[in-house]
């Protein structure tokens, strides 16, 4: 007597036998599924990271320009020289400001989208957030260069609203000012802010979306007014999203080497430094040491965030 | 002059709450006395939760007035009502410890940390969770979470406690245990409980009074015995305990006076030689402590419940159905 139900498909063919095998040995299936990505992560990603780290402990022979493959901290010493250290400070300050302002701008937008927007409005929200990501990064940065240029839209608007004086006053400030917005740190900042905003909004929105309405009602029920509810329930629960968003904006600003080249004063940012050191200058060890900086900074950032309990609500 | 006892804890007058076309609550009048254990019973979607949310202040009525201890509740936000809620999903704050959850209401009021945690531990002891303060809600079982939600809602000594199917997620044994504990707690604290459930057994066993909801309206309010023994409408007769509803055309066939009637299954007795109408056993269900029959009397079907010790009849047997003179209850309309 056959155990198969009448009409059940007969078991033959190599594919069917394979699927039977996977059914009986799910771990084998899992191993097969995970091997390619793990190989990729292990070899291509972690491997190159290790190679990078190793390179940063080599040095360059000043006369021949050849890499000396011996352990030394000389390259890191070079990193701390004022010219190089300034680059690091400049980049970190820029990344921090972009992250801070990004968070401040993104939160209300994300909050509205998560708590109030429904149906069509929500679809429109996603569209508006994602739309910029559909066009080339370069096109958008160049567009901003035009907007911020001396003959650009911003100047035009300032002229016609009688705020030209304000704009000029801002541009005459030290550090943040410059000949025009497109040739100043302010311009670089604005473009970064624009570029990375979606990466801040979406994780915050996702984390707010997961806060059940009943939690907010419970806080109100127990005597918390809107402000208290926000500070004790909504904000802590959104914190993992804020941290995730800030990791994006912070890391993306730290590593970017195109935006400051197109919009901004001619001073270097970290990414540009890496680019010139490994390209024109051919100083791979210093380039490697420069690239280790954002990794270390992100490591510190994540550790501090974890200590402060940013991931407790995960 | 009115004495405090005559002011109801909660008063609804012609209260309605509509969501567009949906009449979630449709003209409800209600008086809940202070210190009462009041159950709201009804099928899914009948407006029980909406009523509770109207009392808590999460919803505003589309029409009518709500008074809480004689004060108009209109425009009073939830955080200024002396009413607390145990939510259906407990709504514990996942990022806080159990003790912090319970102490939340005190924290919001600015009570110092040491004092509020001491109070929280008192409340946790009251719900028998004395050593669980340091845990996170995710590390608790369903029943324990339910108790934390209860402790959290009680720490402010609310005048009215609203409970939205608080036992719905628990298994039968735990549920029965919690029913007893809740009732005991309510008696000792003297707080008005408004308890939503769609389990008629729960409502009847715990409540001082039961309101039966159907389609956004209250169809009957009364003590559990009244609602159970004397259902006012077909809906109540059927929903509360699955009573036999006898339509007017069947009444004469069953030797009842004209009108619609309800007879409880357990009031009917079966016998081989009785005086009542003769029927035939259609089916028999053995349920441990009792037997449940369906008896066909002519074209009519009666459900009958008998105690385990009485004579059993097999399907197909001819039986006489009898009931005491006071068993049939006349139904409205
Ligand atoms: N915010 C809302 N928007 C639209 N309709 C709603 C809303 N809240 C409730 N309703 C509708 O109102 C009716 C009553 O809902 P309610 O939650 O009060 O029922 P319930 O008696 O608590 O049911 P259950 O036993 O399933 O919890 C339902 O038809 C529901 O779909
Ligand atoms: Mg409900």
Tokens describing residue A234: 């909504």
The secondary structure of residue B312, as a DSSP letter, is P
Domain residues of chain B, as ranges?
Answer: 10-237, 243-330
Contact A197, A205 (CB under 8 A): no
Rounded CA gap, B271 and A69, in Å? 105
Separation of alpha carbons B286 and B293, rounded Å: 9
pLDDT band of A313, cuts 50, 70, 90: low
Does residue A1 surpass a pLDDT of 50?
no
Give A 201-220 residues with CB within 8 A of chain B: 212, 214-215, 217-220
Q: What is the pairing mode between strands B209-214 and B37-41?
A: parallel
User: What is the mean predicted confidence (pLDDT) over A33-51?
Assistant: 87
pLDDT digits (tens, 9 = 90+) for B273-294: 888 899 999 999 988 889 999 9
CATH class of the region A81-307: mainly alpha
- Mean pLDDT computed over B101-121: 94
Q: Per-residue pLDDT for B234 more than 80?
A: yes
Residue pLDDT, tens place only, B193-204? 999 998 888 999
pLDDT at A20: 85
Tell me the two tokens of residue A145.
């260069």
- A212/B58 Cβ within 8 A: no
Distance from CA of B106 to the nearest CA of A (A): 9
**Closest Cα in chain A, distance from residue B294 (Å):** 38
Q: Are A224 and B58 an interchain contact pair (Cβ–Cβ within 8 Å)?
A: no
Residue where the block lists tokens 């550790």: A303
Quick one: three-class SS letters along A26-44? HHHHHHHHHHHHHHHHHHH
pLDDT value for A274 = 87
Q: Which of A217, A223, A225 sits opposite B105 (nearest CB)?
A: A223
User: Confidence band (pLDDT; 50, 70, 90) for A88?
Assistant: very high
CA within 13 Å, CB half, B135: 14
Q: What angle do CA B81, B68, B35 make, to 5 degrees?
A: 100
Residue pair B36/B9 in contact by the 8 Å Cβ criterion: yes
pLDDT of residue B217: 94
B87/A225 Cβ within 8 A: no
Instruction: Band the pLDDT of A15: cuts 50, 70, 90.
Output: confident
Residue from B202, B199, B201, B224 nearest B211 by CA: B224
Q: What is the pLDDT of residues B159-181, one digit of tens each?
A: 999 999 988 878 888 888 889 98
Q: What pLDDT is attached to residue B2?
A: 43
Mean pLDDT (chain A, rounded): 88
d(CA B146, CA B167): 8
B66, B72 contact by CB (below 8 A): yes
pLDDT of residue A6: 54
Query: pLDDT at position B167, please?
Result: 87
The whole-number average pLDDT for the span B71-93 is 91
* DSSP E strand stretches across B231-325: 244-246, 261-263, 269-271, 278-286, 290-297, 300-307, 318-322
B77: nearest CA partner in chain A: A220
Interchain CB distance below 8 Å, A218 and B78: no
A95 CA → ligand 2 middle, Å: 48
Taking residues B221-226, what's their average pLDDT?
94
Q: Report whether A57 contacts A292 (CB < 8 A).
A: no
Q: Name the token pair of A244.
A: 């995730």
* DSSP state, residue B72: E
B79 touches chain A (CB under 8 A): yes
Q: In this predicted model, what pLDDT tens digit does every residue of A171-206 receive, in sequence order?
A: 999 888 888 899 999 999 999 999 999 999 999 999
The CATH superfamily label for domain B10-237 reads: P-loop containing nucleotide triphosphate hydrolases (3.40.50.300)
- What is the whole-number distance in angstroms between the Cα of residue B93 and the centre of ligand 2? 21
Going by pLDDT thresholds of 50, 70 and 90, the confidence category of residue A146 is very high
Give, using CA atoms, the residue closest to atom 1 of ligand 1: B19
Shortest-distance Cα residue to atom 3 of ligand 1: B19
* Residue of B77, B95, B152 with shortest CB distance to A222: B152
Q: How far is the CA of B22 from the centre of ligand 1 (A)?
A: 9
Tell me the pairing of strands B10-19 and B22-32. Answer: antiparallel
The CATH number of B243-330, from 3.30.1450.10, 2.40.50.140, 3.40.718.10, 3.20.20.70, is: 2.40.50.140
**What average pLDDT does this structure show over B19-37?**
93
| pLDDT for position B279 | 92
| B103, β-bridge pairs | none
d(CA A5, CA A2): 8
pLDDT of residue A8: 53
pLDDT band at B46 (very low <50, low <70, confident <90, very high): very high
> Cβ contacts of residue B196 below 8 Å, gap of 6+?
B39, B40, B48, B49, B51, B52, B162, B163, B164, B165
Residue B230 to residue A147: CA distance in whole angstroms: 80
Segment among A66-70, B28-32, B80-84, B181-185 with least mean pLDDT: A66-70
CA-to-CA distance for A28 and A9, rounded, in angstroms? 25
B60 touches ligand 1 (CB under 6 Å)? no
Tell me the C-alpha to C-alpha distance, in Å, between residue B314 and each of A53, A134, B91, B285, B286: 86, 75, 51, 10, 11
A46-60, A133-147, A194-208, B209-223: which range is least confident on average?
A46-60
Local structure of B131: helix, strand or coil: coil
Question: What's residue B23's pLDDT?
Answer: 93
Q: What is the mean pLDDT of residues A96-113?
A: 95
The pTM of this model reads 0.80
**A313/B94 CB distance under 8 A:** yes
Split at pLDDT 50, 70, 90, the class of B241 is confident
* Overall average pLDDT of the A270-296 stretch: 87
A31-40, A61-70, A148-157, B45-54: the lowest-pLDDT one: A61-70
What pLDDT sits at residue B1? 41
In this predicted structure, the answer to whether residue A158 has a pLDDT above a threshold of 60 is yes
Answer whether A149's CB lies under 8 Å from A187's CB. no
B146 C-beta closer than 6 A to ligand 1: no
Q: How far is A137 from chain B (nearest CA, A)?
A: 38
Closest-CA residue of A relative to B102 is: A222
**Residue with tokens 């081989």, as numbered in its chain:** B272
């Amino acid at each position: 007597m056959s155990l198969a139900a009448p009409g059940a498909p007969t078991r033959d063919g190599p594919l069917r036998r394979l699927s039977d095998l996977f059914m009986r040995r799910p771990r084998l299936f899992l191993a097969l599924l995970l091997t390619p990505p793990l190989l990729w992560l292990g070899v291509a990603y972690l491997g190159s990271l290790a190679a990078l780290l190793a390179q940063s402990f080599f040095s360059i022979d000043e006369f021949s320009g050849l890499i000396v493959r011996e352990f030394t901290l000389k390259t890191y010493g070079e990193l701390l020289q004022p010219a190089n250290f300034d680059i690091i400070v400049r980049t970190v300050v820029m990344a921090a400001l972009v992250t801070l302002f990004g968070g401040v701008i993104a939160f209300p937008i994300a909050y509205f989208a998560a708590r109030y927007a429904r149906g069509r409005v929500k679809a429109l929200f996603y569209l508006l957030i994602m739309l910029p990501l559909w066009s080339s990064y370069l096109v958008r940065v160049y567009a901003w260069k035009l907007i911020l240029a001396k003959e650009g839209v911003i100047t035009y608007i300032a002229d016609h609203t009688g705020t030209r004086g304000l704009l000029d006053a801002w541009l005459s400030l030290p550090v943040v000012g410059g000949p025009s917005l497109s040739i100043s740190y302010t311009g670089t900042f604005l473009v970064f802010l624009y570029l990375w905003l979606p990466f801040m909004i979406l994780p915050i929105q996702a984390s707010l979306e997961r806060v059940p309405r009943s939690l907010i009602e419970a806080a109100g029920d127990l005597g918390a007014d809107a402000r208290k509810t926000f500070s004790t329930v909504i904000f802590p629960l959104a914190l993992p999203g804020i941290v995730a968003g800030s990791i994006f904006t912070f890391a993306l600003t730290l590593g970017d080497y195109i935006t400051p080249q197109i919009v901004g004063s001619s001073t270097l940012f970290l990414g540009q430094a890496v680019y010139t050191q490994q390209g024109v200058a051919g100083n791979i060890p210093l380039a490697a040491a420069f690239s280790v900086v954002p990794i270390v900074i992100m490591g510190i950032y994540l550790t501090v965030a974890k200590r402060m309990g940013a991931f407790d609500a995960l | 002059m009115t004495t405090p006892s005559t002011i109801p804890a909660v008063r609804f007058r012609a209260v309605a709450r509509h969501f567009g076309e949906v009449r979630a609550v449709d003209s409800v009048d209600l008086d809940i006395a202070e210190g009462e254990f009041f159950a709201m019973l009804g099928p899914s979607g009948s407006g029980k939760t909406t009523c509770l949310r109207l009392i808590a202040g999460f919803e505003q009525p589309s029409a009518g007035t709500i008074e809480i201890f004689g004060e108009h509740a209109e425009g009073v936000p939830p955080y200024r009502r002396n009413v607390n809620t145990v939510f259906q999903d407990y709504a514990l704050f996942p990022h806080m410890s159990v003790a912090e959850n319970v102490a939340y209401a005190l924290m919001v009021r600015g009570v110092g940390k040491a004092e509020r945690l001491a109070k929280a531990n008192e409340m946790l002891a009251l719900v028998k969770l004395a050593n669980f303060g340091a845990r996170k809600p995710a590390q608790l079982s369903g029943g324990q979470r339910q108790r934390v939600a209860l402790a959290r809602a009680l720490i402010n000594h609310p005048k009215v406690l609203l409970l939205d199917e608080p036992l719905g997620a628990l298994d039968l044994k735990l549920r029965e245990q919690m029913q007893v504990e809740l009732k005991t707690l309510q008696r000792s604290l003297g707080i008005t409980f408004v308890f939503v459930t769609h389990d008629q057994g729960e409502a009847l066993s715990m409540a001082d009074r039961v309101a039966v909801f159907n389609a956004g309206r209250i169809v009957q309010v009364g003590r559990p015995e009244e609602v159970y023994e004397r259902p006012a409408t077909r809906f109540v007769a059927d929903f509360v305990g699955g009573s036999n509803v006898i339509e007017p055309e069947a009444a004469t066939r069953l030797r009842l006076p004209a009108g619609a009637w309800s007879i409880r299954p357990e009031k009917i007795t079966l016998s081989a030689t009785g005086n009542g109408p003769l029927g035939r056993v259609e089916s028999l269900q053995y349920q441990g402590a009792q037997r449940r029959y369906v008896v066909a009397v002519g074209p009519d079907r009666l459900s009958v419940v008998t105690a385990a010790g009485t004579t059993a009849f097999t399907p197909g047997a001819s039986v006489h159905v009898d009931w005491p003179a006071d068993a049939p209850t006349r139904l409205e309309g």
